[in-house]
Structure formats: structure tokens, C-alpha cells
Structure 1
Amino acid sequence: MNVNDIKHALENPDDFGTFGRYVETPVDTMPPDMRDAFDFTKSLRGLVPGPHKIWAANPSLLRALAPVGAYFQTASTLSKGEIEIATCVICGHWASVYSSHEHEKIAELLGGVEPARVSALLAGLPTTFDDPREQIVYELSVTLAASRRVPLDLFRRAQDLLGDAGIADVAALLGWFTAVSLTLTAFDVPANAVGLDQ
């Protein structure tokens, strides 16, 4: 990038990309493999949201990751509130502005998480939950996000409340949203990004 390119980018920030730094390919000009992966994702989710727009650049990756996100929308052992608690913990941990902005709203509106608790989750501040399952999802998520060993007592309480399937769901969800957050951060996607209307 030369000086004129930098000057142009500073004067025309919208020319930098269509979704943060990522320049989306319009649907009608997508190569066949990208279009197939895009359509596959849309069939699972009804749309191609957030990081999926970026993962479309690698159709094989998009085809592998899209079902994981769809799983957490339709088949997880966790409630929507529990999913949003773990999601906000890990989005806050990675300081991903786009996913934090999105899930701040989703946690409140769809997950039923109180705004003060959502703020604490995203800011990495301590909070508590009255529901024992939500509390254990919170404790497990905070422990794993901090790269700490899960103590035996915490594991046993999680096992009693969530079962092994629930513990696996929390761990996989944190991994999923780590991929989401790091993708969005790598492409500098701002909180209010919309991208192409496709």
C-alpha cells in the first residue's frame, strides 16, 4: 500500500471493505463453490450472519463451521439464556466489538439476561445468577475463558446440573465463539457493521 492508497483509505473508509476489512463477493458473482457454501449456510440459518460472511472466502471452512452455529440455535442442551451467558463471557474475553455488540442485545432480548448482568459478563466483572444452571454455566465459562483448570468441585456441580453433555456444550460453545470473535477481530469488523444486503 502506497501513500496515495493510505490517503484514499483514510478519506474513504467505506472503500476499505464491505464488512470491516473484508470485501464481500456479491451473491450473483460468487464462484460456484462459494455460492454453494453460502446457500448451504442460508438453508441452515435463514441468513448468512456475522463471521459466516467472512468464512465464505473459504467455502470448505464455511461448510464445516456453519452446522456448529446452527446446532446452538436448534439442538443444544443449553437454554438460550445459558448460551448467551457463555457467549457474552467469551466475547468479552476476546474484546470482539461486533460480537459483543450483537450479543449484548441478543442476551437481553432473546436470552432474558438482565442488562446489568450482561454488562458484567461483557466487561469481565463478577456477577451472579439466581438460577443454579445459569450460575454454573457462568462459573464454568469464566473458568475456561481464563484458561484455568476446572476444579473438581466445580466440575461435580456442573455435572450434577448440566450433565456431561451440558459441560461439553459449554466448552464447544466457548470454542465456537472464540473462532467467531477472532475472525471478526482479524477483519476489524465494527459494532455497527452491516455488510452487503444479500
Structure 2
Amino acid sequence: MTDGPPRYADVDATTHSPLLQDVLKRVVAGRGRVPTPFKVWLHSDKLSDAIEHLGTMLNTQSTLSEREFELAIVLIAQHWESPFVIDAHLRFVSKAGMPAPIVAELKDRRVPHLETEREKAIYAIFKAFDRKEIASDDVFDHAVKHLGRDGLGELIAFLGYYTSVAMAMKLHREPVPEG
């Protein structure tokens, strides 16, 4: 899956447009660093500008907790078989407080014994998408009850945003860090 060297083409910092320089400043201010997927998106000033707003909002201002959005990211990364994203976000969901037995279930792709109704709603919505189904009324109503319509909307955006992250990392052969 990641056979061969990474496929990134670095962007020369001396040739950054004013927009791209602004994007990089906002990314660092919002996230504390430039996430690896930006290596791909930096080649398009307008794309990196638009995606920075969405990514930073989702990662810093969502109604979903860090543990909840990391759960969603692990699930979508596994769907797309993106080793770098799976590895990174299994670590992040653990750091966000997900109990080790549940992280192990996620890693092994077993049905996780999630602790909260919000996490169960995230998992159920994802599984409906994963099976390419329309979520049942029960699944939808459970998600609205526990996540709210704002949280449900943000979950859908997380799944879409991290689909692009997973695909970018897989396509560009980002290696899983050792250790």
C-alpha cells in the first residue's frame, strides 16, 4: 500500500504567494503546526486557503469532543485503508482518553464496546455510511438526540474532510512512523 518512496513535491518557501504565506500562518496559529496533508494541499493556494478554514474549525471548534472526533477519524481512515492516518489517529484517540481495550478493538477492527451514547451514535452513523446505506430512522434519531443536529452536521463534515486526508496520505505514500 505504501510501497515506494513518498510522492510529495515540496513547495519552495521562497516562492509562496502572499495568500499561501497567510494560510501557513493561520494553520500554525490554529493547529500549532502544519499537518502532513498540507504538503499536498499547499500546491493550490485557493484549496489550501479553503481547507485550512474547515480543518482548523473542525479540529478546534467542533461540538464533538476530541475523543469523539478522533473516533470518527479512525473509522474513516480504516474505511480508506490509509495506514498513516490509521496509525496517527489510533494514537490520538488513545491520548484523548479512549480506554485501551476500546482502542484495541478499533485497531483490530472489531465492534468497539463504546462507553457513551454520543460515541455509539458516531459509530452507528459511520457504519451506515460504510455499508453505503441511508441510516435508519432509529440510527438518525439516536444521533440527533445525543449529538444534536449541529454535532451530526459536524460529524458528516469530519468524515468528508478526513476522507480527503486519508486519500491524500495513501496516494502520496506517507509512511507510518516507526516506533
TM-score range, shorter chain: 0.7 to 0.9
1:82–1:134 CA contact under 8 A, matched in 2: yes
Q: What's the TM-score, normalizing by structure 1? A: 0.80
Pair 1:105–1:156, CA change in 2 (3 A): same
Q: What's the TM-score, normalizing by structure 2? A: 0.88
Query: Which residue of structure 2 aligns with residue 184 of structure 1?
Result: 169
> Of 65, 72, 79, which residue of structure 1 is paired with 2:65?
79
Specify the structure having the higher radius of gyration (Cα): 1
Pair 1:115–1:26, CA change in 2 (3 A): farther
Trace 1:141-180 onto structure 2 (pairs within 5 A).
141-180=126-165
Q: CA deviation at 1:23?
A: 2.4
| Structure 2 residue runs without a partner (length 5+) | none
Trace 1:25-64 onto structure 2 (pairs within 5 A).
25-27=11-13, 29-32=14-17, 33-64=19-50
For 2:74 and 2:153, the matched residues in 1 are separated by 18
For 1:36 and 1:75, the matched residues in 2 are separated by 20
Query: Which residue of structure 2 aligns with residue 116 of structure 1?
Result: 101
Query: 3-state SS of the aligned residue for 2:37?
Result: helix
1:105 is aligned to 2:105: no
For 1:154 and 1:184, the matched residues in 2 are separated by 31
For 2:15 and 2:88, the matched residues in 1 are separated by 27
1:40–1:63 CA contact under 8 A, matched in 2: no
| Structure 1 residue runs without a partner (length 5+) | 1-9, 194-198
Q: CA deviation at 1:54?
A: 1.5
Query: Which residue of structure 2 aligns with residue 93 of structure 1?
Result: 79
Q: Using CA pairs below 8 Å that are at least 6 residues apart, which structure has the higher relative contact order?
A: 2
For 2:12 and 2:172, the matched residues in 1 are separated by 18
For 2:133 and 2:24, the matched residues in 1 are separated by 37
Pair 1:75–1:143, CA change in 2 (3 A): same
1:37–1:62 CA contact under 8 A, matched in 2: yes
